[in-house]
Structure 1
Amino acid sequence: MARVAIVTGGSRGIGRATAVKLGARGDAVVVGYAGNADLAAEVVREIVGAGGQAVAAQADVADEKQVAALFDLAEQTYGGVDTVVNSAGIMVLSPVADIDLDDLDRMHRTNIRGTFVVTREAARRVRDGGAIVTISTSVVGLQLPSYAGYAASKAAVEATSLILARELRGRQITVNTVAPGPTATSFFLDGKDQETIDRMAKQPPLERLGTPEDAAEMVAFLTGPQGHWINGQTIRSNGGII
């Protein structure tokens, strides 16, 4: 019987690459998306076209009723939930002195509250032996100017994941965080000039930006049998930038 994965933020970027990767290895995938139904449908078609199983579902990760419905769909369609990857997130950059508090609240609603809502549901519903993965950022360690609000929200994600891993003792469920470095997605690239992109690409010793597939490979490892001994960790998948 196929394992069942829920991937939030699954319509683009790292979430999309993760959904496709898990579908290719045989998982039945529920592709969660916030608003772009067309992009989510493309992901489903890609997975199904390659012989996999997938369905798309809209859910605001900070809305507990919508997230519960996402898990209901997975259980009703595929019989249960084994893997949850919370890739949904937003980023607003600003110096602390200038930050718009509405932007800060919006970012923390998705990144912090959304993580709590999704992982709370996962803690209740993931079958024993499963895996939960959250997505952070290497900026938590790099501490770059203008990233304070975003980094603070993701530091909360890392702390929550470690504590949840300890709380799930006895159920053989792993909880880990993947923290990519600069990654060539619209999420990272939008609003940056080419000089900034080139400079950041040169930072890691491997001298390139990460790809969504780099992060997806790590998620696949952590949620597969080979990675099951890794638990309560934040993996900085960033080419050696820190």
Structure 2
Amino acid sequence: MLDTSETGGPAVRRRWFALLLRDRFACAAAVVLVLVALRHPGAAPGRRSGDRSESARSGPSSLQSPHEFSGGQRQRIKIAWALTLGPEVIVCDEPVSAPDLSVQAQVLNLLCDLRDELGLSYVFISHDVSLVWHLADRVAVMYLGEIVESGPTEEVYERPRHPYTEALLSAAPSPAAGRGPRRQRIVLTGELPSPTDPPSGCRFRTRRPRVRDLCAETVPAPPPGTPLHGAACHFPLEEASAA
């Protein structure tokens, strides 16, 4: 991630970062947002100028009212609005959650094209394992609000080291994204703990089949940062299988 603590404060952060939220109606709630995003895509300050990739590939006509937009049009409005400040990083919260699969594919392809054309980086938040496989260079898996595994996407998908990651991948269509290894379905047992009152030690220990005393006594170290692959687990899967 970019460290903007010494490069201008909030004003710089607003230019470097943009949000692409799940709620497609939030960006189309007022006509003025649509007009600004579509009529003046390059007017806002930023290091890039121009038409912001034709305002996210020519969204709806600015004469339309927000309630008249289709799901795909709202998605493109949202993307165009996120691009107006010329950000370096866009945080995407379930950006392709539309029920129509054709709309999902269009939005995903548009995000990939914009990434290549504008040099963007995405923080892509999703529950769809196949989409993450398709888009991400690195992946971080979260459980109860904490990252339990991170690493290059190919390594995490092919050789998961945390048991939660393994169970998560086993629930995805097999093989995930058409390229991953086939896996036997793993069904987690036990009650999901409360994030506000997690178990002692490892948060996942109440749902892991094989637990040792250390799991309840000590919080595992967080996974290493880029470019390494690791897991917040006292007994990662590869080491556990070797033992």
Say yes or no: TM over 0.5.
no
* Shorter-chain TM band: 0.3 to 0.5
Point out which structure has higher relative CO (alpha carbons under 8 A, 6+ apart). 1
Higher helix share: 1
Calculate the TM-score normalised by the size of structure 2. 0.33
Calculate the TM-score normalised by the size of structure 1. 0.33
Asked which structure has the greater CA Rg, the reply is 2
